[in-house]
Amino acid sequence: MSFAAKFTLLFVVFVDMLGQGLVFPILNGLIMDTGSPMLARDTSEAARHFDYGLIIGVFFLCWFFGAPYVSKLSDVIGRRNAILICLFGALGGYALSILALYLNSFALLIVGRAITGLTAGNQPIAQAAMIDASSDDEDRNRNMGYIITGISFGLVGGPIIGGFLSDPAFAGSIASVKLPFLACFALVGVAIILVLAAFRDKHDRQADRPPFVFRPAEIVELLWQIRKYPKVMRLTAVFVLFQFANMSFYIFVDNYLSSRFGYGTLGGSMVMLTIGVALAFSSTFLVVPAQKRFSKEAILTVTFVVWAVSAAAFLASPVAILTFIPVFCFYFVFGIAYPTFLGLYSASVDDSEQGWVMGVAIAVFTLDAGVVSLLGGDLIGLDLDLPFYGVIAVSIAALAVMFLAWNKPDIKALTRRSGG
């Protein structure tokens, strides 16, 4: 795969994740700020927490239904065509979201986020394309690290764009909550041009691909196929808990800081920036060295321990600035653990099923995120600390499940050090 093609894939993932790093702080401000016209001024704080969880949950649940199908579809119609479907969907979703901001329509904003979620499948497709271009296990793990680098730069870029373009102190009189969405709309357009001009892969050159047939039931069937793959099932038993803990922290960190310490959009953006920096450094430089020195099971064990300690330290922080330390630690280890998990998924199936298994990984992530968003919105309305106590409990449970479910020779073979 050429440098231009790899750059294009990373840019696509960057744009995909840009929306999350940008949108979360802005949505938090739109919904939690009593001065925002998006909701009635007399809306209670508990109702605002629920609405925040609802709009985040709708996005992730739509992503859950769309991502596995689009990922599998990429094995049939080609990576390039599937990526273009996702990008044009993102373009439409951003357009509706921008219109919703002009009209102050919460319902239209939900529709825009739903459309964006349904077509937010570029990450697993890019992962599968990178795997297609990998020469061996080490190269595959390195390429998975590059994907996480693209994700982390998106998480870094989103807060910068969202925080600066929406704050009059930086953008002056043109600053508004609409401007970051307009910037993302333009960047999606750039991504479409790059894909059309620079990206090709072997799936796009196959002449004997079966014709495309839309079958909505295939979304469920794709996930139901897990039962035929014992290794994938055992990996998924832990991955469900891994992503549940991750998303419980990620989705509500900004909401928590806003409610407890009065953070605004810019403050929330700085939290997302911290997450992105932690991810960028560890995923870019430490994935392969860590996997050569430690078994993958050891890497994940350390991750769950660090997560439990970080969540406890986050809750115990007496001032806002100290919360940035556990946030950084949480996502520093995540930057190593997530590509490690993706490598395990990839190694558990053959080359013809890479699109499917990456779709499974994203489906687990998005389903967890949707459930966490909807349940967590109610929980955080009752007590700000509850989602983070959940992180501690789920991290401990994941350790137990990992040691029980992975105590098999076939899983042990997958989780050994990359160097041995």
Domains of the chain (ranges, CATH numbers): 3-200+226-415 (1.20.1250.20)
Average pLDDT over residues 189-212: 74
What is the per-residue pLDDT across 234-284, written as a single tens digit (0 to 9) for each?
999 999 999 999 999 988 888 888 888 887 666 777 887 888 889 888 987
Please check the confidence at residue 121 and state whether its pLDDT lies above 90.
no
Longest dimension (CA), the chain: 63
Please check the confidence at residue 404 and state whether its pLDDT lies above 60.
yes
Lookup: tokens for 165: 């373009």
What is the spatial distance between Cα 94 and Cα 397, in angstroms, rounded to a whole number? 38
Q: Which residue has the higher pLDDT, 305 or 367?
A: 305
Average pLDDT over residues 12-24: 78
Q: Which residue has the higher pLDDT, 163 or 281?
A: 281
Confidence at residue 309, expressed as pLDDT on a 0 to 100 scale: 98
What is the spatial distance between Cα 340 and Cα 295, in angstroms, rounded to a whole number? 10
Confidence at residue 18, expressed as pLDDT on a 0 to 100 scale: 79
pLDDT band at 223 (very low <50, low <70, confident <90, very high): confident
DSSP code of residue 265: H
* Top-confidence range, 297-311, 339-353, 403-417: 297-311
Please check the confidence at residue 200 and state whether its pLDDT lies above 90.
no
Q: Which residue has the higher pLDDT, 370 or 121?
A: 370
What is the per-residue pLDDT across 322-378, written as a single tens digit (0 to 9) for each?
999 999 999 999 999 998 998 899 889 887 787 678 778 877 888 898 888 888 777
pTM of the full predicted structure? 0.78
What is the spatial distance between Cα 405 and Cα 382, in angstroms, rounded to a whole number? 34
Q: Closest Cα partner for 417 from 329, 307, 299, 308?
A: 299
Lookup: tokens for 368: 């967890």
pLDDT band at 217 (very low <50, low <70, confident <90, very high): low
Average pLDDT over residues 221-241: 88
Mean pLDDT of all residues belonging to the chain? 84
